[in-house]
Amino acid sequence: MAAVESGWKVVGLDNSATRVAELNRGHSPVEDISNDTLSSALKSGSYKASSNYEDISIADVVTICVPTPLDEKKEPDLTALRGATISSAPYLKNGALLVSESTSYPGTLRTEVIPLVEKNRPTGTTQLFFATAPERVNPGDQVWNQKNTPRLVSGIDKDSHDKAMDFYRSICDAVVSVETPEIAEAAKLLENTFRLVNIGLINEFTKLCGPAGIDVNKVVAAASSKPYGFMPFRPGVGVGGHCIPVDPLYLKWWANQNNLSSPMVELAEKTNTEMHKYVADRALKLMAPKTQKARVLLLGVAYKAGVSDVRETPVSHLRQHLIFLGHTVEWMDPLVPTWEKTNPTNELNGFDVAILAVNQPGLPISELQGMGTPILDCTNSFSGQSGIQTL
Ligand SMILES: NC(=O)c1ccc[n+]([C@@H]2O[C@H](COP(=O)([O-])OP(=O)(O)OC[C@H]3O[C@@H](n4cnc5c(N)ncnc54)[C@H](O)[C@@H]3O)[C@@H](O)[C@H]2O)c1
């Protein structure tokens, strides 16, 4: 949509027929793009969704932004990136610029994408251009978006670089020229590893403060008064989504390929992944004494506030742990219609404890307070209110 707004004619190519049909009906699957924005782009003829790779044959610029998840061994799974590259390559027109936007380890453009294009490109093409420009979006963010977030760009050679800089200058307010694609790819991993490690630190800090009766959120607020050298991170149930829990493991894998290790990533990942046990323990301590088999209400199950995305949500681990301990778990999230093959509850009566995992809009906090249900607020949104404890 940023490219549409800048006057480009855009085809959104996707191998999911359902996704393509949904888009062409004007239904946006992305929270930050309204149906109205999508519909007017469709109506003006400046955008269409398609699953026909032949549409690439008229494109001056092809950006690949497919998922780069982990496989069952928690290692990089480049199936979609390789698949999209192989499917696009035969249709690239002479002089086209191909940009890899998907997050991956350093060297992905040079050693994965380009060789696959070279192998599958049309024989008639004399020149193609290649660049990387890692996607930087923060779903649900009201301030920072695709347009106003500075974009890292690096081409494989000077001409590729210049073409990519021109394209991103046309759709972003600020473009940052980076010397090599590997630096841009590594920078993306650093950004998200920085978050993982700092969230891990604050989660560890939370476990140290709790037993001492110190509210960690008040500690973070106090430390934040320092105008330099400190940046606040908040404790929570863990980390979720398809970036923070995933990207640092690309870094770890890449380090291992080079016979190196990344112990800080591993420790932060372990700390965050185990945080749900501390949360469960704190919540169960709020119940009436002698409650053996509790009814627990989870409030907010998406991976973060303001989104419906449940991928990698840490609330899953919390739910499974509570069930493993023998408790009954129900949940509510106004943005999530179904989750883990279960439906949300409409009932507020009879819960021994509620855990506010993610502060989604429209949760019945005051109703639960009125009913005297103890609430553990993992989001520090209702600090100091009656019946509510923070982490
Ligand atoms: N979403 C974010 O918040 C975010 C932020 C920064 C970076 N990223 C990175 O951007 C990339 C894309 O992430 P996403 O969350 O938008 O992914 P996504 O899971 O929403 O998938 C995007 C689309 O790609 C389609 N797709 C999958 N395989 C395909 C193929 N072979 N050919 C064509 N289409 C295919 C899917 O059907 C889907 O509609 C990832 O590398 C991710 O790490 C995402």
CA distance 288 to 80: 50
Residue of 71, 43, 66, 53 whose CA lies nearest to 11: 53
Query: How far is Cα of residue 60 from the mean position of the Cα atoms in its chain?
Result: 29
User: What pLDDT score does 3 carry?
Assistant: 96
Which tokens in the block code for residue 6?
A: 């800048």
Using the atom order of ligand 1, give the atom closest to the CA of residue 241: 3
User: What pLDDT score does 313 carry?
Assistant: 96
Helices (H), 333-380: 365-370
Ligand 1 centroid from CA 14, angstroms = 10
CA distance 89 to 184: 23
Q: Is the pTM of this model over 0.95?
A: no
**What DSSP designation does 70 have?**
B
Mind spelling out the 3-state secondary structure of 94-114? Answer: CCCEEEECCCCCCCHHHHHHH
User: What pLDDT score does 382 carry?
Assistant: 95
CA distance 148 to 173: 5
3-state helix, strand, coil in the chain (%, to 5): 40, 15, 45
Cβ neighbours for 239, distance < 8 A, ≥ 6 positions apart:
195, 196, 199, 245, 272, 312, 314
Ligand 1 centroid from CA 65, angstroms = 5
Ligand 1 centroid from CA 327, angstroms = 36
Using the atom order of ligand 1, give the atom closest to the CA of residue 16: 37
Q: Which residues of 16-36 are buried (b: 16+ CB within 10 A; e: fewer)?
A: eeeebebbeeeebeeebbeee
Ligand 1 centroid from CA 166, angstroms = 24
Is the dihedral angle over the CA atoms 120, 121, 122, 126 positive or is it negative? negative
Query: How far is Cα of residue 70 from the mean position of the Cα atoms in its chain?
Result: 13
User: What pLDDT score does 333 carry?
Assistant: 98
User: What pLDDT score does 125 carry?
Assistant: 86
Count the residues in the chain.
Answer: 391
Q: Yes or no: say if 6 and 170 are a contact pair by the CB < 8 Å rule.
A: yes
Residue to mutate (ligand 1; options 20, 50, 62, 66; most atoms within 8 A of CB): 66
User: What pLDDT score does 288 carry?
Assistant: 82
Using the atom order of ligand 1, give the atom closest to the CA of residue 137: 5
| Mean pLDDT, 10 residues at a time, the chain of 391 residues | 96 97 97 95 98 96 97 97 97 97 98 97 92 94 93 98 98 97 98 98 97 95 97 96 94 97 97 97 90 93 94 96 96 97 95 97 96 96 93 91
- Strands 388-390 and 175-177, sheet pairing: unpaired
For ligand 1, which residues put their CB under 6 angstroms from it? Answer: 13-16, 19, 65-68, 80, 83-84, 102-103, 135-137, 139, 242-243
Ligand 1 centroid from CA 178, angstroms = 23
User: What pLDDT score does 238 carry?
Assistant: 96
Catalytic residue among 65, 172, 209, 243: 243
378 tagged catalytic = no
